[in-house]
Amino acid sequence: MADRPIITLLTDFGLADGYIGAMKGVILDINPDCRIVDLAHHIPPHDVMGGALVLGQTYAFFPAGTIHVAVVDPGVGGARRPLALEAGDYLFVGPDNGIFTFVLKREQEVRAYELVEERFRLPRVSRTFHGRDIFAPAAAHLSREIDPAEMGPLLDASRLTTLAIPVPLLKDAVLSGEVIWVDAFGNLVTNISQEDLGGIAPDDLIAIEIGGERIQGLKTAYEQGQVGEIIALWGSAGFLEIALKGENLSRTHRWGRGEAVRIRGR
**pTM, rounded to two decimals:** 0.91
Q: CB under 8 Å to 151, separation ≥6 — which residues?
A: 84, 113, 115, 116, 117, 120, 138, 141
Percent of the chain surpassing pLDDT 70: 96
Q: What confidence tens digit (pLDDT) does each residue in 182-218 have?
A: 999 999 999 999 888 876 666 666 689 999 999 988 8
Q: Residue 223: pLDDT above 80?
A: yes
Strands 67-71 and 90-95: parallel
Whole-number Å distance between alpha carbons of 128 and 49: 21
Q: CB under 8 Å to 228, separation ≥6 — which residues?
A: 244, 245, 246, 247
The reported pLDDT for the residue numbered 237 is 87
What rounded mean pLDDT belongs to the chain? 94
Percent of the chain surpassing pLDDT 90: 86
Which of the four pLDDT bands, split at 50, 70 and 90, describes residue 12?
A: very high
Whole-number Å distance between alpha carbons of 136 and 26: 6
Indicate the SS3 state at residue 194: helix
| Per-position DSSP letters for 81-94, written without gaps between them | PEEEEEETTEEEEE
Q: In the chain, what are the domains?
A: 6-159 (3.40.50.10790), 169-265 (2.40.30.90)
